[in-house]
Structure 1
Amino acid sequence: MSSSCDSGDCGDDRYSPGLENIIASETALSYLDVEKEEIVLRGYSLIELARQTGYVDVAHLLIEGSLPTSERRLAVELKLKAEEEVPGGVYESIRLLPQGAHAMDMLRTAISALGCFDEELEDFSPASGRRKAYRLLAKLPQITANGYRILNGLEPVAPRSDLAYSAGFLYLLTNKKPTELEAHVFDQSLVAYSEHEMPNSTFAARVIASTMSDMYGAVTGAAASLKGRLHGGANEAVMKMLEETSSSQSLEALMLEKLAKKERIMGFGHRVYMRKPDPRALLMKEALRKLAAASCNHELYHRCEAGEAVMKREKGLYPNLDYYAAPVYHLLGIPVPLFTPVFLAARATGLCAHVIEQHEHNRLFRPRVLYRGPKDLHP
């Protein structure tokens, strides 16, 4: 039986702008338990995973379905090392871009080019999907860091064979061997960004995958989505706001000025959490405090706390992950234009897992519209 919506005459009660609260997919990967204020990845708390495991463990959990044993974790690290070489043609495609191009545009282009070099591109089996996921994870740190260097007229940096995945990624971003604390904090940030149910970029990836397009195409679409300042680009916007100020007082004044002008302040509020704290923000706030203590640079931490207090007082809003991840990345020495590319590289494990899941239980996405235009016109 067809519904009234099938004829294009959908009632207002069936329309939800932005698809808010609309269930679009079934998944065994993750969900946001708003009541418990918890992000769940395959049954585990994301925050507990960030505190007690590492990014490679979480990648295995999302891609394979279980946390790895210590032996399996080592095998995955070795697999990532074996797959880390980036085809020269990918770097050549980046060299053709104009200097000054946005780093996310570079990364989107590079991921698309990378797919052309994968011999399993058109194999949509779960086993092939998992192999492609690991290839992407292995190459993204170099593409992210070295692609940015190429855009700025610099030569690529070779990866360090003696560093684990997250520490090696941070080394490529900063060209400096990280301390144990820096590597740990960066690893936690990658876990925090790894998967988050169905944000815009993940939905974009699943929509593309639902056409039985390939994994690289789906992740390319996600990269285009993540570039937007209302999604992944928020962390860059937060840091730019912080860089405009030099003290807690000047940050408060700037934020009050923006609020008076009805300007949106990035890094606060969330479509799902609404009036509750983002638990990932609390994780990164703690990480920022540790980095500040280690560098004897407490001013930035106190300035961020002051900004948090302003938004809670004036708007009843709490910080989201981007608000505290931005200053964490700043203290780690990561260039601001790479904040969003790092977000994508971290989220790639979740995106790949969603693409694999979509291909396994596929249904083409084909929503309808609520038509508001004229009717019964004749030429």
Structure 2
Amino acid sequence: MATVQNFTPGLEGIIACDTAISFLDVEHEEIVIRGYDLIEISKKLKYLDLVYLLLESRLPSDEERDNLEREIKAEYGLPENVLAILKLLPRQMDAMDALRTGISALAGFDPELEDHSPEANRRKTIRLLARIPAIVANSYRAGQNLPLLEDRPELSYSANFLYLITGTTPGELEASIFDQSLMVYSEHEMPNSTFTARVIASTLSDIYGAVTGATASLKGKLHGGANEAVMRMLLEAGTEHKIEPLIMEKLRNKERIMGFGHRVYMKKADPRALFMKEALLKLCDEIGNWELYDMCVIGEEVIKREKKLYPNLDYYAAPVYFLLGIPIDLYTPIFLSARTIGLCSHVMEQIGNNRLFRPRVQYTGPRNLHP
């Protein structure tokens, strides 16, 4: 039997590339983004500060951040033909499939599609950041027979995104927490979707194709759908008194409890989860109802006791999005939208020092057969 040395199922522990973008320092419970702690940035700065950091490898001044926001807002608005495509999609179509289709269609309207220069890819990144939120929101609204909404440039980038989803102008706390959620979803080293984007980019395909492929990857239940599953479990339980019995029943039935465990975070908590836990408490304080927070805390304690697993980001992001009035079907598309800047940064880095990904296999089939 032919063999390849160092075979590791799922490429677990395999170093796939050099990167100066991000690193998960599990021992120190830190997510490093171009030298900065993601959680510290998320507490002190805004999503567009992080976008600038990923694009330019340094934090912006206030003026530079404002200029970046103007750049993005100048690219607001979907082509009419893309809107027409979104309206033609089947009503029962999965929101991630609709998003993937919208991004792919958008590629055809970019005059710099085949220009792989750093300058052109930066401009295309700006366009994707400007337009993916509109695809997320309006593909869903079209499927629900709701009126499509236009961007409101007078709102901040994140407040506009939340408005497109809910149809309501968010308050200051809601806009701030949504902005923070985009930050903690923005970049996370080398998950499957980012690896997919880099593999596609390594062929010198275009940046839209790489993001489209990443969207298909993120749709998978083992990657991006956990936040939706968490919220459905919480709604199934309904009250804090029923969450433990429900989880115990699921464990007896050997069902997987989504929102817990992570291939990287096995022995320590995901710091992003702890950050969103604080955000959830703020929202509960705002409305004067702490039941969702109490349910989540009980669930966290049960899984830690029974399985010795810690919550990941999705576990606390799900109820945060629920309280922000976001439809459950859009939780994963929002994840992809927030991650767009991380994906595009990886694509640009890959192209800047490219080598085609072409791994080998460990063959386990028969040999020496003859017709």
Q: Could you state the TM-score of these two structures normalised by the residue count of structure 1?
A: 0.97
Residue of 70, 80, 89 corresponding to 1:78: 70
* Contact 1:160–1:168 (CA under 8 A) maintained in structure 2: yes
Q: Identify the residue that residue 4 of structure 2 maps to in structure 1.
A: 10
Residue of 303, 311, 315 corresponding to 1:323: 315
* Structure 1 residue 59 displacement after superposition: 0.6
* Contact 2:77–2:151 (CA under 8 A) maintained in structure 1: no
Whole-angstrom distance in 2 between the partners of 1:155 and 1:332: 20
Output the aligned Cα RMSD.
Answer: 1.0
Whole-angstrom distance in 2 between the partners of 1:160 and 1:123: 30
Q: Deviations over 1:185-230 (max 9, x none)?
A: 0000000000000000000000011000000000000000001111
Q: What code does the residue aligned with 1:10 have?
A: V
Whole-angstrom distance in 2 between the partners of 1:60 and 1:183: 19
Whole-angstrom distance in 1 between the partners of 2:223 and 2:319: 17
Note if 1:366 corresponds to 2:358. yes
Please list, as runs of the form range in 1=range in 2, the aligned pairs for 1:174-189 lying within 5 A after superposition.
174-189=166-181
Residue of 134, 156, 168 corresponding to 1:164: 156
Whole-angstrom distance in 2 between the partners of 1:171 and 1:9: 55
Residue of 112, 132, 144 corresponding to 1:152: 144
Q: What code does the residue aligned with 2:114 have?
A: E
Q: Deviations over 1:319-354 (max 9, x none)?
A: 000000000000000000000000000000000000
* Secondary structure in structure 2 of the residue aligned to 1:231: coil
Q: Deviations over 1:165-184 (max 9, x none)?
A: 01111111111111111111
Following TM superposition, where does structure 1 have runs of at least 4 consecutive aligned residues deviating by more than 3 angstroms?
A: none
* Contact 1:133–1:352 (CA under 8 A) maintained in structure 2: yes
* Secondary structure in structure 1 of the residue aligned to 2:32: strand
Q: Identify the residue that residue 271 of structure 1 maps to in structure 2.
A: 263
Identity, in percent, stands at: 61
* Structure 1 residue 257 displacement after superposition: 0.7
Out of 205-214 and 60-69, give the one that drifted further.
Answer: 60-69
Please list, as runs of the form range in 1=range in 2, the aligned pairs for 1:219-234 lying within 5 A after superposition.
219-234=211-226
Q: Could you state the TM-score of these two structures normalised by the residue count of structure 2?
A: 0.99
Note if 1:197 corresponds to 2:189. yes
* Contact 2:194–2:214 (CA under 8 A) maintained in structure 1: yes
Note if 1:103 corresponds to 2:87. no
* Structure 1 residue 30 displacement after superposition: 0.2
Q: How many residues align?
A: 371
* Contact 2:86–2:138 (CA under 8 A) maintained in structure 1: no
Q: Deviations over 1:266-300 (max 9, x none)?
A: 00011001121000000000000000000111011
Q: Identify the residue that residue 122 of structure 2 maps to in structure 1.
A: 130
* Contact 1:267–1:321 (CA under 8 A) maintained in structure 2: yes
Q: Identify the residue that residue 58 of structure 1 maps to in structure 2.
A: 50
* Structure 1 residue 237 displacement after superposition: 0.6
* Contact 2:77–2:150 (CA under 8 A) maintained in structure 1: no
Whole-angstrom distance in 2 between the partners of 1:146 and 1:173: 8
Whole-angstrom distance in 2 between the partners of 1:353 and 1:164: 22
In structure 1, the gaps of 5 or more residues are 1-6
Whole-angstrom distance in 1 between the partners of 2:268 and 2:90: 42
* Contact 1:8–1:368 (CA under 8 A) maintained in structure 2: no
Q: What code does the residue aligned with 1:356 have?
A: M
* Contact 2:47–2:183 (CA under 8 A) maintained in structure 1: yes
Q: What code does the residue aligned with 2:4 have?
A: C
Q: Identify the residue that residue 251 of structure 1 maps to in structure 2.
A: 243
Q: Identify the residue that residue 106 of structure 2 maps to in structure 1.
A: 114
Q: Identify the residue that residue 4 of structure 1 maps to in structure 2.
A: none
* Contact 1:107–1:143 (CA under 8 A) maintained in structure 2: yes
Whole-angstrom distance in 1 between the partners of 2:204 and 2:121: 12
Residue of 30, 33, 46 corresponding to 1:41: 33
* Structure 1 residue 160 displacement after superposition: 1.6
In structure 2, the gaps of 5 or more residues are none
* Contact 2:31–2:39 (CA under 8 A) maintained in structure 1: yes
Q: What code does the residue aligned with 1:109 have?
A: T
Q: What code does the residue aligned with 2:94 have?
A: H
* Contact 1:63–1:133 (CA under 8 A) maintained in structure 2: no
Q: What code does the residue aligned with 1:338 have?
A: L
Residue of 242, 246, 250 corresponding to 2:234: 242
Q: Identify the residue that residue 337 of structure 1 maps to in structure 2.
A: 329
* Contact 2:100–2:215 (CA under 8 A) maintained in structure 1: yes
* Secondary structure in structure 1 of the residue aligned to 2:237: coil
* Structure 1 residue 96 displacement after superposition: 2.1
